[in-house]
Amino acid sequence: MSAWQKGLDAAERNQAGGMEKLDKLFAVAQPGAVYSEPVQAEGHTVITLNEVTVVMGYGFGIGEGGGAPSEQTDNANAALQGGSGGGGGGGGFSSGRPVAVLSVNANGVHVKPIVDVTKLGIAFLTTFGAMALMLARISSASRR
Amino acid sequence: MRLGNNLLWEKISGEPMMIQDARIIPQARVLRVQSRFGGLVWNRPVSVIVERAGKRETIAAPDVTLITTIALFVSLLAVPVWIFAMWKGVRK
Protein backbone atom coordinates (compact mmCIF):
# COMPACT_ATOMS: atom_id res chain seq x y z
CA MET A 1 0.00 0.00 0.00
CA SER A 2 1.45 3.37 -1.00
CA ALA A 3 1.94 6.24 1.44
CA TRP A 4 -0.67 8.18 -0.51
CA GLN A 5 -3.24 5.39 -0.09
CA LYS A 6 -2.42 5.14 3.63
CA GLY A 7 -2.92 8.88 4.00
CA LEU A 8 -6.20 8.71 2.11
CA ASP A 9 -7.43 5.84 4.32
CA ALA A 10 -6.46 7.77 7.45
CA ALA A 11 -8.28 10.85 6.16
CA GLU A 12 -11.41 8.80 5.45
CA ARG A 13 -11.24 7.28 8.94
CA ASN A 14 -10.86 10.77 10.43
CA GLN A 15 -13.86 12.02 8.52
CA ALA A 16 -15.99 9.03 9.57
CA GLY A 17 -14.97 9.63 13.19
CA GLY A 18 -15.79 13.30 12.88
CA MET A 19 -19.23 12.56 11.44
CA GLU A 20 -19.88 10.13 14.30
CA LYS A 21 -18.95 12.81 16.86
CA LEU A 22 -21.14 15.30 15.02
CA ASP A 23 -24.13 12.93 15.16
CA LYS A 24 -23.62 12.56 18.92
CA LEU A 25 -23.40 16.32 19.22
CA PHE A 26 -26.63 16.75 17.31
CA ALA A 27 -28.44 14.85 20.06
CA VAL A 28 -28.31 18.27 21.72
CA ALA A 29 -30.95 19.33 19.21
CA GLN A 30 -33.64 17.60 21.25
CA PRO A 31 -36.06 19.76 23.25
CA GLY A 32 -35.08 17.77 26.35
CA ALA A 33 -31.72 19.55 26.31
CA VAL A 34 -33.41 22.94 26.33
CA TYR A 35 -35.76 22.26 29.25
CA SER A 36 -34.16 21.30 32.58
CA GLU A 37 -35.46 18.73 35.04
CA PRO A 38 -38.28 20.09 37.25
CA VAL A 39 -37.21 21.29 40.70
CA GLN A 40 -39.78 21.45 43.51
CA ALA A 41 -39.66 23.90 46.42
CA GLU A 42 -42.37 25.30 48.68
CA GLY A 43 -45.28 24.32 46.46
CA HIS A 44 -43.61 25.65 43.32
CA THR A 45 -42.21 23.55 40.53
CA VAL A 46 -39.57 25.34 38.49
CA ILE A 47 -38.08 24.45 35.09
CA THR A 48 -35.28 26.45 33.50
CA LEU A 49 -35.52 27.07 29.75
CA ASN A 50 -32.06 27.28 28.18
CA GLU A 51 -30.64 28.24 24.84
CA VAL A 52 -28.05 25.69 23.71
CA THR A 53 -25.52 26.36 20.95
CA VAL A 54 -23.00 23.86 19.62
CA VAL A 55 -20.58 24.54 16.78
CA MET A 56 -18.01 22.03 15.56
CA GLY A 57 -15.62 21.93 12.67
CA TYR A 58 -12.85 19.65 11.52
CA GLY A 59 -10.62 19.27 8.53
CA PHE A 60 -7.71 17.37 7.17
CA GLY A 61 -5.30 17.46 4.30
CA ILE A 62 -2.85 15.17 2.61
CA GLY A 63 -0.20 15.82 0.04
CA GLU A 64 2.87 14.46 -1.61
CA GLY A 65 5.62 15.79 -3.75
CA GLY A 66 8.60 14.68 -5.72
CA GLY A 67 12.11 15.98 -5.37
CA ALA A 68 13.43 18.54 -7.83
CA PRO A 69 15.77 17.13 -10.46
CA SER A 70 19.36 18.10 -9.88
CA GLU A 71 22.66 17.55 -11.66
CA GLN A 72 23.22 14.24 -9.85
CA THR A 73 19.69 12.78 -10.37
CA ASP A 74 17.58 12.40 -13.45
CA ASN A 75 13.82 12.98 -13.58
CA ALA A 76 12.93 9.33 -12.86
CA ASN A 77 14.97 9.26 -9.67
CA ALA A 78 13.70 12.66 -8.55
CA ALA A 79 10.27 11.20 -7.78
CA LEU A 80 11.87 8.68 -5.42
CA GLN A 81 13.29 11.54 -3.36
CA GLY A 82 9.81 12.94 -2.69
CA GLY A 83 7.61 12.41 0.33
CA SER A 84 4.05 12.59 1.47
CA GLY A 85 2.27 13.69 4.57
CA GLY A 86 -1.04 14.51 6.04
CA GLY A 87 -2.68 16.09 9.00
CA GLY A 88 -5.96 17.02 10.44
CA GLY A 89 -7.56 18.99 13.20
CA GLY A 90 -10.79 20.16 14.61
CA GLY A 91 -12.37 22.43 17.11
CA GLY A 92 -15.65 23.32 18.61
CA PHE A 93 -17.61 25.54 20.89
CA SER A 94 -20.66 25.03 22.99
CA SER A 95 -22.66 27.31 25.22
CA GLY A 96 -25.80 27.28 27.27
CA ARG A 97 -27.68 30.30 28.54
CA PRO A 98 -30.83 30.46 30.63
CA VAL A 99 -33.60 32.28 28.76
CA ALA A 100 -36.60 31.99 31.06
CA VAL A 101 -38.00 30.17 34.06
CA LEU A 102 -41.24 28.21 33.96
CA SER A 103 -42.98 28.22 37.31
CA VAL A 104 -45.96 26.02 38.14
CA ASN A 105 -47.90 26.53 41.34
CA ALA A 106 -51.50 26.44 42.59
CA ASN A 107 -52.18 29.82 40.91
CA GLY A 108 -51.19 28.64 37.46
CA VAL A 109 -48.28 28.36 35.07
CA HIS A 110 -46.03 31.39 34.49
CA VAL A 111 -43.01 32.01 32.27
CA LYS A 112 -40.62 34.66 33.60
CA PRO A 113 -37.86 35.89 31.26
CA ILE A 114 -34.27 36.01 32.50
CA VAL A 115 -32.30 39.09 31.47
CA ASP A 116 -28.56 38.49 31.05
CA VAL A 117 -27.32 41.85 32.33
CA THR A 118 -23.65 41.10 31.60
CA LYS A 119 -24.31 40.22 27.97
CA LEU A 120 -26.58 43.24 27.53
CA GLY A 121 -24.03 45.52 29.17
CA ILE A 122 -21.29 44.33 26.80
CA ALA A 123 -23.61 44.72 23.79
CA PHE A 124 -24.65 48.20 24.98
CA LEU A 125 -21.07 49.40 25.45
CA THR A 126 -19.96 47.90 22.12
CA THR A 127 -22.86 49.50 20.25
CA PHE A 128 -22.47 52.95 21.76
CA GLY A 129 -18.69 52.80 21.43
CA ALA A 130 -19.07 52.01 17.72
CA MET A 131 -21.66 54.79 17.33
CA ALA A 132 -19.40 57.33 19.03
CA LEU A 133 -16.45 56.28 16.87
CA MET A 134 -18.57 56.50 13.71
CA LEU A 135 -19.91 59.96 14.59
CA ALA A 136 -16.43 61.24 15.49
CA ARG A 137 -14.99 60.07 12.16
CA ILE A 138 -17.90 61.51 10.18
CA SER A 139 -17.58 64.79 12.06
CA SER A 140 -13.81 65.04 11.42
CA ALA A 141 -14.29 64.09 7.75
CA SER A 142 -16.97 66.76 7.23
CA ARG A 143 -14.70 69.48 8.72
CA ARG A 144 -11.99 68.78 6.09
CA MET B 1 -37.90 24.12 6.74
CA ARG B 2 -35.57 21.34 5.71
CA LEU B 3 -33.00 21.28 2.92
CA GLY B 4 -31.87 17.67 2.58
CA ASN B 5 -29.92 16.47 5.59
CA ASN B 6 -27.78 19.59 5.73
CA LEU B 7 -30.14 22.30 6.93
CA LEU B 8 -33.00 22.06 9.38
CA TRP B 9 -35.01 24.99 10.81
CA GLU B 10 -38.10 23.85 12.61
CA LYS B 11 -40.15 23.93 15.77
CA ILE B 12 -40.13 20.64 17.63
CA SER B 13 -42.15 19.45 20.60
CA GLY B 14 -40.60 17.57 23.49
CA GLU B 15 -41.93 14.85 25.74
CA PRO B 16 -44.97 15.97 27.75
CA MET B 17 -44.37 16.39 31.50
CA MET B 18 -46.95 16.13 34.29
CA ILE B 19 -46.26 18.84 36.85
CA GLN B 20 -48.80 19.05 39.66
CA ASP B 21 -52.12 19.00 37.78
CA ALA B 22 -50.75 20.50 34.56
CA ARG B 23 -49.54 18.68 31.48
CA ILE B 24 -46.69 20.64 29.94
CA ILE B 25 -45.36 20.16 26.42
CA PRO B 26 -42.11 22.06 25.76
CA GLN B 27 -41.49 23.46 22.30
CA ALA B 28 -38.12 24.46 20.90
CA ARG B 29 -36.87 26.05 17.70
CA VAL B 30 -33.88 24.25 16.21
CA LEU B 31 -31.40 25.44 13.61
CA ARG B 32 -29.18 22.60 12.49
CA VAL B 33 -26.54 23.00 9.81
CA GLN B 34 -24.45 20.00 8.89
CA SER B 35 -21.67 19.66 6.37
CA ARG B 36 -18.80 17.31 5.64
CA PHE B 37 -16.49 19.50 7.70
CA GLY B 38 -18.58 20.32 10.74
CA GLY B 39 -21.85 21.66 11.86
CA LEU B 40 -23.89 23.94 14.02
CA VAL B 41 -26.83 23.41 16.34
CA TRP B 42 -28.76 26.36 17.78
CA ASN B 43 -31.57 25.20 19.99
CA ARG B 44 -33.74 27.62 21.91
CA PRO B 45 -37.04 27.39 23.75
CA VAL B 46 -39.96 29.20 22.12
CA SER B 47 -43.04 28.27 24.08
CA VAL B 48 -44.74 25.76 26.34
CA ILE B 49 -48.17 24.26 25.79
CA VAL B 50 -50.04 23.94 29.08
CA GLU B 51 -53.03 21.65 29.42
CA ARG B 52 -54.82 22.16 32.72
CA ALA B 53 -58.41 21.56 33.81
CA GLY B 54 -59.45 20.78 30.26
CA LYS B 55 -57.99 24.03 28.92
CA ARG B 56 -55.06 24.25 26.55
CA GLU B 57 -52.96 27.39 26.27
CA THR B 58 -49.64 28.27 24.69
CA ILE B 59 -47.31 30.45 26.74
CA ALA B 60 -44.48 32.11 24.83
CA ALA B 61 -40.98 32.12 26.28
CA PRO B 62 -39.46 35.34 24.94
CA ASP B 63 -35.67 35.68 24.92
CA VAL B 64 -35.47 39.25 26.22
CA THR B 65 -31.66 39.31 26.10
CA LEU B 66 -31.56 38.28 22.43
CA ILE B 67 -34.32 40.71 21.42
CA THR B 68 -32.59 43.62 23.20
CA THR B 69 -29.21 42.74 21.70
CA ILE B 70 -30.69 42.62 18.18
CA ALA B 71 -32.46 45.96 18.80
CA LEU B 72 -29.16 47.52 19.87
CA PHE B 73 -27.33 46.34 16.76
CA VAL B 74 -30.19 47.42 14.48
CA SER B 75 -30.01 50.88 16.08
CA LEU B 76 -26.27 50.89 15.33
CA LEU B 77 -27.00 50.14 11.68
CA ALA B 78 -29.65 52.86 11.60
CA VAL B 79 -27.17 55.61 12.59
CA PRO B 80 -25.38 55.88 9.19
CA VAL B 81 -28.76 55.84 7.42
CA TRP B 82 -29.99 58.65 9.66
CA ILE B 83 -26.78 60.68 9.13
CA PHE B 84 -26.99 60.18 5.36
CA ALA B 85 -30.64 61.33 5.36
CA MET B 86 -29.69 64.45 7.39
CA TRP B 87 -26.73 65.17 5.10
CA LYS B 88 -28.97 64.98 2.02
CA GLY B 89 -31.47 67.28 3.74
CA VAL B 90 -28.74 69.89 4.45
CA ARG B 91 -27.53 69.78 0.81
CA LYS B 92 -31.04 70.54 -0.44
Contact criterion met (CB below 8 Å) for A42 and A11: no
What number is the average pLDDT over the span B65-70? 92
Q: Does A31 touch chain B (CB under 8 A)?
A: yes
Q: How far is residue A40's CA from residue A135's CA, in Å, rounded to a whole number?
A: 52
CA closest to B52 among chain A residues: A108
The whole-number pLDDT of residue A29 equals 59
Q: Which residues of A36-72 are buried (b: 16+ CB within 10 A; e: fewer)?
A: bebeeeeeebbbbbbbbbbbbbbbbebeeeeeeeeee
The whole-number pLDDT of residue A83 equals 76
Q: Does A143 touch chain B (CB under 8 A)?
A: no
In whole numbers, what is the pLDDT of chain A averaged over residues? 80
Q: In this model, does residue A19 exceed pLDDT 60?
A: yes
Model pLDDT for residues B14-24, shown as the tens digit of each residue: 889 898 888 99
CA closest to B60 among chain A residues: A111
